[in-house]
Amino acid sequence: MAQITFREAISRALREAMQDERVFIMGQDIGSYGGAYAVTKGFLAEYGPERIRETPIAESVISGAGAGAAIAGLRPIVELMTINFSFLAMDQIINHAAKVRYMSGGQLTCPLIVRTVTGGGASVGATHSQSLEGWFASVPGLRVAVPSTPYDALGLFRSSLQQEDPVIFVEHALLYSSRGEVPDEPYVVPFGKADIKRIGTDVTIVAYARMAMVAMRAAEELESRGISAEVVDLQTLSPLDGDTVAASVQKTNHAVVVEETWYTGGFGATVVGLIQERVFDYLNAPVARVAGVEVPMPYSRHLEQASIPDESRIIQAVESTLGR
């Protein structure tokens, strides 16, 4: 299998989507600039301005127009430059796109895909470094995809194109240059199915997006210390695959849940609740959580790195859970 970057996987997914004449892409700087992360480089020349639509800096307008187009029968892909800017489009996404199918009794659907970028680590300050995907996952009617590898990104986007409900497709800013094997043969990664990225016997580490990759590196170090860690990558937050998580914890009897966003109100609490409800009797220790430090993301590189979970914090949590 060929190795490609996460960025190339998303570009390939978008080109596949554009084979459907109902699909168009709309967002800021996606045309002549090629996208803030170079994902749509060359698309304007290839597909023209009717299908690669440059927009003003107006997220409410972008998302509202996308929702309206989806309800009217098109398959729009909206790009919000970062998930932080989605605050300006909450009404359009949450009160309209997410609810129109239910409120119309199924007469209307909204197959809108909102591509957006999450996460810190790029030293772009507090208002550009938040991880808000868990907020969207709490809204009935929205599907939330959080890929961690090029393989997952391409497969989950293909699944997104099959949905009749709006999808928040979340791409971590620091994953774009990461590489991974992707087959040439068609495949999809289904929604609502977590992936066991690494098999282990002593502890289950549950994570998603970039934190799944950080957890993988932590698991490698833990192995050198005689600890076998199983890494479960959630892949989608909505729908959430509780079965895979519960089965893994039932086997290992210990769990550590990792996410980049703040501890208070984080999606990790939902995962912990699921584990407590479904496999409490199998736990040999309380479920541990590793999350971001509860401060606005610092601009300073050193302070920023101290705010984001890393391998050492995961290892510390695992060893504490195991009583090492």
Has residue 54 got a pLDDT over 90? yes
For 101-131, b/e burial (b = at least 16 CB within 10 A) is: beeeeeeebbbbbbbbbbbbbeeeeeebbbb
The one-character DSSP state at 126 is G
Domain ranges in the chain are 2-182, 195-321
The Cα–Cα gap between 169 and 144 comes to 6
Mean pLDDT over residues 242-254, rounded? 98
Task: For residues 111-136, give the mean pLDDT.
Answer: 97
Per-residue pLDDT of 66-91, as tens digits, reads: 999 999 999 999 999 999 999 999 99
Give yes or no for a contact between 29 and 35, defined as CB atoms under 8 angstroms apart: yes
Tell me the average pLDDT of the chain. 97
Active site residue 260: no
113: pLDDT confidence band, cut at 50, 70 and 90? very high
**3 state DSSP class of 152:** helix
**Beta-bridge partner residues of 233:** 195, 207
> Catalytic residue among 79, 96, 128, 259, which?
128
Q: Which phi and psi (to 5°) does residue 28 adopt? A: -85, 130
**Given this model, what pLDDT does residue 268 score?**
97
Give the whole-angstrom CA distance, residue 175 versus residue 312.
20
Which CATH number is associated with domain 195-321? 3.40.50.920
Out of 59, 79, 171, 259, which one is annotated catalytic? 59
* 172 included as an active-site residue: no
The predicted model gives 283-296 an average pLDDT of 97
217: pLDDT strictly greater than 90: yes
- Rounded average pLDDT over 222-236: 98
Q: What average pLDDT does the segment 254-268 reach?
A: 97
| pLDDT (0 to 100) of residue 81 | 95
The pLDDT of residue 91 = 97
What pairing do the DSSP bridges indicate for beta strands 167-172 and 113-118? parallel
Cα 57–Cα 16–Cα 24 angle in degrees, nearest 5 = 35
Give residue 38's pLDDT: 94
Query: Distance (Å, rounded) from C-alpha 88 to C-alpha 109?
Result: 23
Return the CATH class of domain 2-182.
alpha beta
Fold match between domain 2-182 and domain 195-321: yes
On the question of pLDDT at 1 being above 90, the answer is: no
